Structure 1
Amino acid sequence: MTLRLAVGQHSEAGRKPLNQDFHGVAQPTDAQRRSRGIALAIADGISSSPVSQIASAAAVRGFLEDYYGTSEAWTVRRAAHCVLSATNGWLHAESQRGEGRFDKDRGHVCTFSALVFKGREVHLLHVGDTRVYRVHANALEQLSQDHRVRLYGGQTYLGRALGINAHLDIDHASWPVEVGDTFLLATDGAYEFLDADAVQEALTTHGADLQTAAKALVAAALARGSEDNVTIMLVRVESLPTRTAPPVNRDELRLPPRLAPRQQFEGYRIVRELQQTARSQVVMAVDTDGREWALKLPTAELAGNARELDRFASEEWVARRVDSPHVIKAASAETKREHLFTAVEFIHGQTLAQWMTDHPRPGLDEVRSLAEQIGRGLQALHRKEMLHQDLRPENLMLDRQGTVILIDLASAHVAGLSEGLGDARALELAGTLQYTAPEYFTGDGGTPVAELFSLAVLVYQMLTGALPYGLQVPHVRGDRDLHKLQYVPLRTRRPDLPEWLDRVLRKALQPQAARRQQALSEFLHDLHAPGPEFMTRDRTPLQQRHPLLFWRGLTVAFGVATVVLIGLRISGR
């Protein structure tokens, strides 16, 4: 099943010489419908402005066109906010060049509402006093909030609208939808003269013909005395997708055979096998231009595993949308394929795991350089609302020039793809447990701050060869367990390192996410230029700073006391 909507829309100037309302529905391709949904929008220009019809038309057209040009990895909220902020900036600039510079009521100003249906959810974007309702059997449920400020004496004015100010504050909300749900979008010239009975009468009389129903409601509003422009949009959900569709339609691709050296496969010549597991085969191959690639192929073992096959389908898609020297690059999607596999650049070098074996006690500067490069790769993902989710030494490559590259994007969480079919948060335990932040185990899910924790684990491990909490973190099951985690101080393993470094890492490795640095950039800055909070002498109790040393000392003290007491007792006899 796919997302399908029935839409009816109609607008008339009414008794006014000019229609300053505008409305529209996007006609996305099948691929756009899967990744970005279906958008519809309505705008109402303010009657005091001679140019507000330009504003309302630009707002609707710009949104419906530019929204589908945003990254497929972005959430609806981020994509819509970027598009509307750009539109608002243009409208405000136009106002500043005209009469609106001195009188906002004569500028390029309009109210705006949009619905974006994506997956099994609907998203509302709203600013001003156009309205959006969910239609029930005997009532209209208003979903939008009017941004009108009421003055003493009953007068009102628009508190928020597109084009009024350089900064835009737009409402966003989302709800799950069901087949049959019906929504109404209307300008004030319509909704002030209509009620639930009128809407139900139009829907009942015209049945599935929403276009005729919209025309009937416009006519009803005008007949009841509306002297303003009147615009009505009706939308009904006709079908919904049953599950998240992967970015690549893997159902059209066959599982590949096992490959051997010198074999020809999909335009590649296989050179040698790099890795073989029960779930995948990785081989080195060269294309017709002599470029080297690493091909990753699912085995027959995954034939019935839809989740794992979807990961194969999305890994290249993720890599193509991130442009960073610290993230693996994928082959282009120009050639049509017959089999399901991924092709990424072949990197001559070594994994971070091998580097740590070769450098058991590295210097701080070396580790900081590596951490900064890993952080840049993660930041490139985070800017696209993606999480790597499997940060570990085996998934980091150092090439011959010393550049660190994030590889294996199969576990990446893409907010824009997860959105629309339930919770868009990264809740799945997708990575290696000992590098995973505690919030995954408590059910709170992943964020960029969770990846900061994973990076801090790597920094600690590069410096000491050990894990800061050992194997304690995977045993966390709730918030109460977080307090039981015992951090092993860095200087108990590397006393040659500065005390401030231990404090920086201790903060980044806090079990509670809110107590860590709140951005990767902040953590990386602290590694190079620690602030006063890390340079002051640590007054944390010894039991917390050095639990092993504390308990050893306590045991020795008890032992000495016991010997003394026994000696006193013997001498007293």
Structure 2
Amino acid sequence: MSLSVLTGYASRTGLRERNEDFVGMATPDEPDLSTKGMLAAIADGISGNAGGREAAEYTVRGLLTDYFATPDTWPVTQAMDRVLKAINSWVQDQGAKRREVAGMATTLTALVLRGSFYYFSHVGDTRLYLLRGGTLTRLTTDHVWDRPEMQHVLTRAIGLDSRLAIDHGMGELRERDVFLLASDGVWGWMTEYDMTHALSEVAMQQAEPEATAALLADSALRAGSTDNCSALVLRVDALPEENLRDALSGSQQLPVPPKLKPGQELDGYRIEEVIHASQATLLYRVVEPKSNRQLVLKTLHPDRADDAHERSAFAHEEWLAKRVVARFFPQVIVPEQKNYLYYLSTWHDGQTLQQKLDAGAHFTAPEAIAYGEKLVRAAGALHRRSIIHRDIKPSNVHLGTDSELRLLDLGVALSELEKEGGIAALQAGTPSFLGPEQFDNAPPSRQTDVYAAGVTIYTMLTRHYPYGEVEPFQRPRFGEPVPASRYRPDIPLWLDNVLLKAVARDPAERFETAEEFLIALERGASNPMPARGITPLAKRDPAGLWRAVAVISMVMNLLLLYLLVLQ
């Protein structure tokens, strides 16, 4: 589904001799709609002569043309900033060269809707409002003198100064969001209550944007406005699935919150405790005051606030977490208002498998099989969404008090859209759970997750690893895996065989998919899988075989030489 937005505008001259406002919109076809978005802008010329109208019209027309000509690799904010500063230079140059338009300048408020985000650029005293859930919020700040008698005097405008300072902002889009871009001739003569009422009818589809824009402009004139009155109304009717590109772009805009303590608040969420702290991220248990429900808030560590790679990786993790809507994963909660870089997910009572093992928990074979089936189902749910977890291990397996198993932490996961977001597929994960082929720089695959799930179940039963523990930075050598029954004689033979196949050294000998692994666990003793034969040395360790042949040959030659010397 593509972004769908219904728009409408109105512009009235009022009691002025000419209309110095100018509004414009552009909605391109695909693929430009996805890569650049749609653009709406409103400008209010501020010269006392024809220059005001010319500045407003040139600024809007130039923005609508030049923005879509910027490179697709530029973030929206960068593209808007570059284009507007170039336009500012042209407007100021024209005002200096041409006497009839001396001092020409204009305000500007521009809105870009792309993917599931909105972006705005603003200078002057035109305004941008957002109506969401019945609440009207002004997103822009007027650039005027703060003294009462000079509140009509602008401090910033296109063409006013050679160095243009532009306000930029962004936020997440929601269906039925309604935006209003308005000149001061409208907002200066209407109350926010009246604007909220008019825009609410648009949100509830009881009025069309164009009719509402005309209503706002005409109402301002009836209220006594002597200025030009212009309004542009947009309603978001449908959103596309969140784009990784937009998520990465958004991550660069929001500030990282400081380290928080219990009792403090962030965007209205009260911090209860710090769940986990690493060098890169922080996890808090928080309470949402409105519903009193507990949630998990994850954010970057403040020390990584300026690390563009960490920001991109964090946004990538959030984007993936939103895609895995299933009972095997915590679900992402979208906040009403988000002013910092973080994401929220559901909180579930319970402990991780690692915490239970550390506390001395003992799992019977039937318990391990039941949990193993749920773990493999979770991995399969990821794979069906073309996501590879890459870090399945006991500390990322949560066993809830509601009897559900949930797979945690998509921080190093990969998806089929990696090329779109530019996330590097570096080797990641915990060494003892990495498939042997990954130590030879083979790319991660579904079978590397199958291997990690097999090792996790093996560890749950035995507290050991099939090939022994692998330390960080170690270059391990993999021989034959130790059967789990060596440590737990009560483990049935069929389960031993299933685990040995899951953790096979050669990916070709493992289960091809998580579903195949699941079937083997479910069939159990009723249809046991045959024991895996011992891998021949020539296949298991070709280099070792040739070294052995060389050693034997050398010994034989020395023995023959010795016999010849004796003769």
For normalisation by structure 2, the TM-score amounts to 0.49
In the superposition, the TM-score normalised over structure 1's length comes to: 0.48
Which entry has the higher C-alpha Rg, 1 or 2?
Answer: 2
Greater RCO structure (CA 8 Å; 6+ sep): 1
